Structures are given as structure tokens and as C-alpha cells.
Structure 1
Amino acid sequence: MELRQVRCFVAVAEELHFGRAAERLLLGQPAVSQHIRRLERELRVELFDRSPRHVRLTAAGELFLPGARRMLAAEEEARASVAELAEGRTGVLRLGTVSGLGPRLDRILDAYERHAPGVRVELVSLPVKERLAQLAGDRLDAAFVRAAVPDDSPELRLIPLWEEELLIALPARHPLAAGDQPALPDLAGLPLRLTDRRTNPALVDLVVNACHEAGFEPVTASAGGTLHDTLAAVGAGAPTWTVVYAANAAMTSAPRVVFRRLRDRTLTLRTSLAVRRSRSVPRVLLAACREQPPPCRPGVPGAETE
């Protein structure tokens, strides 16, 4: 039994999809399937119930999963224990962050501390271009980013982590804030408060392109310098709208604003971990990032810049 086979098994067990597991592991799907088949031959059981429509764990797979996770955790702990010595590190992980992670970031930090208790995490919050420049210049060890790394950063690569949902923020007094969920075309007559594209191109492109697909050109209004400034502007004066990450909505109090899902579409942005191609994959950090948090509830109080 090889650790790479166990790693493939755990990824497929958590994703319940061979393609997503392969993307997560930075492998081809045939290689993942081959590792799983070899592991099943080694164990003399079938670990997955495969059909054209779904992938599910068998009873044997359910029994094997906890032990497989413990094997990988032990590997990560062993790697972490020598990482500082091997890399000449000072016991500090310099991690670039994005806004809107909400409680997820706390869970990641807690999980990382469990796996690497001797390493202090130093969080660095910067606009995306500066964040990636510091990562490329070896002033950061890793960084969260949304959507793609710019073409001018070939020395970096992205490891997909999760999809983040965006909610619509409306004035609490507006008719669309109550009743049935609004559709995106319902917002065509309201100005959109959105950060400048230079600050967060992925977010701006996602929202503007969705508006185009819905058949209208959004009329833009200036966004505030911070999340709370933007929400205050949405909640006061002439009606406007904006978007907010669901995780941030769950932890933001804004009584004059209501957050809603759209009826006709779901807006999501992929969050990935950016690392330098010349360095080994930070497996301890990845393991911490991939511990599944509980889902956010819609309709609770939070517009983002990055």
C-alpha cells in the first residue's frame, strides 16, 4: 500500500467524483482511477460503488476512510516536524489572505495549528496584485486567490480549494427584499455598487458578465472603501445593490440591508491556494484548507472588494 494510493482514495471519498478529485490532486483522472484500482486489489475489496451517474463509498470504503485519514495526518505531521529544518525556515508561515473568508479562515488556522503546532502563521492582507507579487518574490509562502492567476505570473500555480457563493445585498425597505427570491433581471433598474475592476477583476467580471447574460448593462455606482461603507451606502438614500460573500454575510450585522440568493442563477467564485512552482506543495496547509466547514445559511446579514 502506497501513500499516494491512500491520498487518491481520500480525495475521491471526499469529492465523490473522480474528476474533481484528480483536479484537487493535480493528477490526471486515469492516474487517480489506476491508484484506486491498485489499492482495491491490495485490500481485496471494492472501496467505491461506481455507476455512470454517481460515485459512492461501499461499506468497506466507509470502514477504511477513518484509518486512511489518520495515515495521511501522520504523514503531514512528520513532514511538518522537519519542514523548518529542511527549508531553513524560522517557524513562520507567511500566508496571504483575501476578504470574505469569514469563519472558514478561523477553521483553517485551527486545523493548521493542530497539524503544525510549532509553526506561527503570519497573515498578510494585500490587494491581489501585490499579494501575488510578494508570493513570486518569496516574501509569502502561499496566498489565497480567487479565480485565475494573471498570465504575467508563470512562476506561480493554483491549487483549487472551494467555490464561494455570492449573495445579493439590497436595501431592507426595497420591494425585492421581501417575498419570492429575486431574479437577476429584476435588478436591472438599480445602480450596482461594485469595487473597481483593478482591485478585484474576478469579482467584477463575474457580476458584470452575469448581468449581460441576463440581458442588461448594469449602471454602476461607487462602492465604499470598506465592506461596512458599501453596506451603509446600499442601506441609505436611493436604492442600489451589491454582492457579498455568503461567509461574510453570516458574520456581518447590517440591519438596513437584506441578503438574498437569486432565483435564476448562482454566483460563485473559486478560491485557490497560490504557491510557487519551485517549492514543494504545502501539504499541511492544504490539509487544513480542505477540512469541510458547515454550510452558510442564506439570508443572514454582509459586498466585497478583495
Structure 2
Amino acid sequence: MELRLLATFEKVATVLSFTRAAAELGYAQSSVTGQVRSLESSLGVELFERLGSRIRLTEAGERLLPYARRMAELAEEARTAVAATAEPTGTIAVGTMESLTSYRLPPLLEYFHHRYPGVRLTLRPTLGDETRQALRQGTYDVGFLMEPETEHDGLESEVLAPEPLVLVAGPDHPLAGGTGLTAADVAGAQLVGTEPGCPYRDLFERELGEWSPPFMEFGTIEATKRGVAGGLGVALLPRVAVASELAAGTLVELAWQAPFTLFTQLAWRRGKRLPPHVRLFVEQARRLVREQRG
């Protein structure tokens, strides 16, 4: 059973597309199809059901997939162990989200760019459920999460920091300077937010669900901050994302405390053997994010 064929099978099984697998592997689609068929022939089973333009794993394919992933991980570990260079090398697919990429990760990305040029970081912007699924499937090596829960099925996770949230408005907003604001007070204001699926947006909306206030959606944090600073409403955002605006006075913190806590976490598939360059990334993420808090 050739490792090359297993690697191709694992990629097709992960993305469930011969076309996409060929593009990510740098092969012609006919080569990917031929390699999968060679593997099926050597095993004497069909690994995929062809459903028109779609495919899905057969029972045999489902049984083979975890072995293919383990063998790919062992092969990477072996290559790293016998590499002639002392410098870490390799690619790391990282699932992340806008608030972390923009406001938590720049020191980590800069550190790796300058200190470990042989490590290539590929950032994949996704939100919680998508990131967790991609980690379980092996599409991502590691993923950053911002969630109230700190345990996730099929994943190992490490809490890097609690992520304080703050309700902000423009300095001339009617709620600015008020004390003891209630959820009803907040719900009565125009709410500005990022897209649904963002963890703090969803929790905020759920907290105010009794009043079912509409949200003015801006999509990105930067656009949300500009809208709020311009007097369009109030928004709940991570404190780290609005720290400079609060210091400059273009945004002000309102006297309402979110009744939930989010934690920035780093996660990877449970049982996955992290190669040295990925372990290094985990260690430096832990150090640099915690230094930001200090």
C-alpha cells in the first residue's frame, strides 16, 4: 500500500472532491482519479460512492480514513526527525477568525515570519463550527476558537486567555455616561454587529432575545467600529479590538456587563501527533497571547 496513494485518498476524503483535491495537491484531476482507483484495486474495495458530480465515502473508505491520517502524520514526523536542517520547516494550516487575526495574532505571525522563515503559515478564516469540523477532518492543523465552552468533541484544546467583551458607542450616544444600564436599555438602542455565527454576536443576540431587537450588520469589526463611532448604534466587541478607539475617545464603554464569558483557545484534533514545527507554533502562541494579557 503506497503512502502516496494513501495521501491522495486522504485529501479526496477530506474535501470530498476530486477536482479540489487535485488543485490542492498540484496534480491533474486524472492523476488523482487514477491513484484512488489504484488504491481501490489493491485493496479490493470501493472507497467512494460516485453520485453524479458528488462523492461520499463508502463504509470501507470510512474505516480506512483514520489509518491514512495516522500514516500521513507518522510520515511527516519521520521526515522531520531525519531532516538535515536544524531549523523547523513545514506548512501549518491555521483556522482563525477576524477578531483574533487582526488583534491577537500579529505578534505571533511576525515572530514566525522573522524567526522561522522555513515555517509557512496558511490562515483560513472560519468561525467556530466550521473550524471545529475542519480540525476533526484534518483540513486544519490547528485552529483558534473564541467560545464560552472549553471542551470540544474530538479535539484537544488549550485556553490561552479569557476574552473580555465591552459594549461600546460613540461619545455622543444617548446611553454614553449612563449608569446601571439594563438589557432592556440596551435592546432599545440600535444594535450594530458583525455577521451571524460570530460567537459574541450570537450570545449577545440570545441574551436580548426577549426583546428581539434587530441588528444592523456591517460584516467586519472595522466597519462595525466605524458605524458605531459615527453614531449609528451600539456594539458588543472584544475589548482588545476596541482598545485603541477607547484610548483615543472615538468610542466609549457603556455601563453594561455581558453576562457570559468567552475564552480564546487553540485546538487540534484529539490523538493527532503534532510535528515539531506545529508544537513550536502552539508553544509560541501560548507564550505571546499570555504576554499580551500581562
Please say whether Structure 1 and Structure 2 have the same fold, judged by a TM-score greater than 0.5. yes
Q: Secondary structure at the match of 1:193?
A: strand
Give the structure-1-normalised TM-score: 0.54
- Deviation track 1:148-196 (CA, whole Å, cap 9, x = no partner) reads 6899x84333222211111112133213223658555532321322345
Q: Please say if residues 135 and 141 of structure 1, whose CA atoms lie closer than 8 Å, have aligned partners that are also in contact.
A: yes
Query: Which one has a bigger Cα radius of gyration?
Result: 2
* Alpha-carbon separation, structure 1, partners of 2:140 and 2:149: 15
* Alpha-carbon separation, structure 1, partners of 2:180 and 2:293: 19
Aligned length: 208
Equivalent residue number for residue 211 of structure 2: 217
Instruction: List alignment gaps of at least 5 residues for structure 2.
Output: 1-76
* Deviation larger for 260-269 or 119-128: 260-269
Equivalent residue number for residue 188 of structure 1: 187
Equivalent residue number for residue 163 of structure 2: 164
* Alpha-carbon separation, structure 1, partners of 2:79 and 2:239: 36
Aligned ranges 1:53-64 → 2 under 5 Å: none
* Alpha-carbon separation, structure 2, partners of 1:117 and 1:257: 38
Paired residue type of 2:235: T
2:285 aligned to which of 283, 289, 306: 289
Q: Secondary structure at the match of 1:95?
A: strand
The CA RMSD over aligned residues, in Å, is 3.9
Q: Please say if residues 172 and 256 of structure 1, whose CA atoms lie closer than 8 Å, have aligned partners that are also in contact.
A: yes
Q: Please say if residues 157 and 267 of structure 2, whose CA atoms lie closer than 8 Å, have aligned partners that are also in contact.
A: yes
Equivalent residue number for residue 270 of structure 1: 263
- Deviation track 1:249-291 (CA, whole Å, cap 9, x = no partner) reads 1356998952315355565311111201131355322321222
Equivalent residue number for residue 208 of structure 1: 205
Displacement after TM superposition at 1:92 (Å): 1.2
Paired residue type of 1:249: V
Q: Does residue 124 of structure 2 align to residue 128 of structure 1? A: no
Equivalent residue number for residue 62 of structure 1: none
- Percent identity of equivalent pairs: 25
Equivalent residue number for residue 25 of structure 2: none
Paired residue type of 1:226: T
Instruction: List alignment gaps of at least 5 residues for structure 1.
Output: 1-81, 297-306
* Alpha-carbon separation, structure 1, partners of 2:171 and 2:131: 35
* Alpha-carbon separation, structure 2, partners of 1:219 and 1:280: 46
Q: Secondary structure at the match of 2:188?
A: coil
Paired residue type of 2:138: D
